[in-house]
Amino acid sequence: MKNILIIGSTGQIGTELAMALRKRYGNDHVVAGYIPSMPPKGELLESGPAEIVDITNAQQIADVVKKYQVDTIYNLAALLSAVAEQKPQLAWQIGLGGLFNTLEVARELGCAVFTPSSIGAFGPETPKDKTPQDTIQRPKTMYGVTKVSGELLSDYYFKRFGVDTRSVRFPGLISNVAPPGGGTTDYAVDIYYAAVKEGKFTCPIKPGTYMDMMYMPDALRACMDLMEADPSRLVHRNSFNIAAMSFAPEEIAAAVKKLMPELEVTYEVDPLRQGIAESWPNSLDDSCARAEWDWKPEYDLDSMSLDMIQTLKARFGK
């Protein structure tokens, strides 16, 4: 990777990935693509180039790729799961129409493409525990439908046109930088903010609901490491299971209470998010990622909780 374009650089993952990529490859080599309604701010804006890149506008993507001689595109444009259920047409337009535009530009101009998938690509018929790399994928949400379709389309462009497409299936991502943005797993971000700021948390997911989760530093490293991986080792491409930890709401609450015993937790279940959560796996088997490009997480629930609480306390002066 010499010159990189991030489409969706101001979103949940993009904000942090852009800075991680600039740290690794140099500020001038990473272009932060954004839409006017979500402009870059602060360090993201000041540390390197930024351009308006609407993923639904193929010419706009191509113009920026040519201008900066981009060889790698990180396509992060998407609506998160709960939001996508409320706006399914827009979710399809961005998730699949935008991906098609990106892959066409990559085919014509010789770029590699990373497009994240998700545990949402699985459905209720998928094996729940240690979900295999290759298994049935019949999601019942528009978010999931776009992710499965995106995996297939990306594989097609690799096999048919030789476009270097790669992807991971993200679990729920927990960040101390980007605020929650409407994902089913965002309760696991909210609880830390609520604990530090208010000392109480109302959970929208019922106890006993297991989902795979990952701390954002591990997720960022997975994005970069996969794109740097030796292609001759890759049996799979779109998309790799990656995993770090699996827990239910009462377990993350217990982990937070170890550090903040005064935290009060109540439950007020959101039927939409609960339904989505129950259609997803409890845990993923990531043995293929470990074997094909040496994936290994660094954070577990306790070490993540300690870092989250320390970081947020410092930020909010608690």
Phi and psi at residue 232, in whole multiples of 5°? -70, -20
Identify the CA nearest to 226 among candidates 289, 173, 162, 157. Answer: 289
pLDDT digits (tens, 9 = 90+) for 235-292: 999 999 999 999 999 999 999 999 999 999 999 999 988 998 888 899 999 999 999 9
CATH number at residue 109: 3.40.50.720
Positive/negative CA dihedral, 92, 49, 314, 307 = positive
Is residue 144 in some structural domain? yes
Give the three-state DSSP class for 8.
Answer: coil
Is residue 295 within 8 Å of 222, Cβ to Cβ? yes
Cα 190 to Cα 174: distance, rounded to the nearest angstrom? 9
Structure tokens at 252: 């993350």
Residue 38: half-sphere exposure toward Cβ, Cα within 13 Å: 16
**Do 264 and 119 share a domain, yes or no?**
no
Cα 90 to Cα 95: distance, rounded to the nearest angstrom? 8
**Do 25 and 159 share a domain, yes or no?**
yes
pLDDT digits (tens, 9 = 90+) for 13-29: 999 999 999 999 999 99
Most distant CA atoms of the chain, gap in Å: 57
Instruction: Please state the rounded mean pLDDT for residues 227-242.
Output: 97
Phi and psi at residue 202, in whole multiples of 5°? -105, 115
pLDDT digits (tens, 9 = 90+) for 139-181: 999 999 999 999 999 999 999 999 999 999 999 899 998 766 6
Residue 309 scores a pLDDT above 80: yes
**Do 108 and 158 share a domain, yes or no?**
yes
Is residue 141 within 8 Å of 83, Cβ to Cβ? no
Q: What is the pLDDT of residue 155?
A: 98
Q: Which burial class, exposed, middle or buried, applies to 6 when counting CB atoms under 10 A from its CB (0-12, 13-18, 19+)?
A: buried
Which of 115, 139, 171 is the C-terminal boundary of a domain?
A: 171
**Do 132 and 274 share a domain, yes or no?**
no
Q: What is the pLDDT of residue 180?
A: 65
**Do 126 and 208 share a domain, yes or no?**
no
Cα 315 to Cα 47: distance, rounded to the nearest angstrom? 21
**Do 122 and 196 share a domain, yes or no?**
no
Q: What is the pLDDT of residue 29?
A: 98
Is residue 62 in some structural domain? yes
Give CA torsion, residues 305, 311, 316, 317, to 10 deg. Answer: 110
**Do 27 and 154 share a domain, yes or no?**
yes
The catalytic residues are: 143
Phi and psi at residue 280, in whole multiples of 5°? -100, 160
Residue recorded with tokens 């979900």:
131
Is residue 227 in some structural domain? no
Residue recorded with tokens 């870059």:
40
Is residue 120 in some structural domain? yes
**Do 106 and 139 share a domain, yes or no?**
yes
Cα 88 to Cα 85: distance, rounded to the nearest angstrom? 5
Which of 142, 171, 200 is the C-terminal boundary of a domain?
A: 171
Residue 82 scores a pLDDT above 90: no
**Do 90 and 195 share a domain, yes or no?**
no
Is residue 60 in some structural domain? yes
Number of domains in the chain: 2
What is the span of the domain harbouring residue 178? 172-213+243-316
Cα 43 to Cα 4: distance, rounded to the nearest angstrom? 18
Q: What is the pLDDT of residue 287?
A: 98
Which of 141, 171, 201 is the C-terminal boundary of a domain?
A: 171
pLDDT digits (tens, 9 = 90+) for 30-68: 999 999 999 999 999 999 999 999 999 999 999 999 999
Q: Which burial class, exposed, middle or buried, applies to 95 when counting CB atoms under 10 A from its CB (0-12, 13-18, 19+)?
A: buried
Is residue 219 in some structural domain? no
**Do 34 and 146 share a domain, yes or no?**
yes
**Do 125 and 262 share a domain, yes or no?**
no
pLDDT digits (tens, 9 = 90+) for 293-307: 999 999 999 999 999
**Do 267 and 186 share a domain, yes or no?**
yes
Identify the CA nearest to 113 among candidates 274, 256, 234, 226. Answer: 226
Q: What is the pLDDT of residue 181?
A: 64
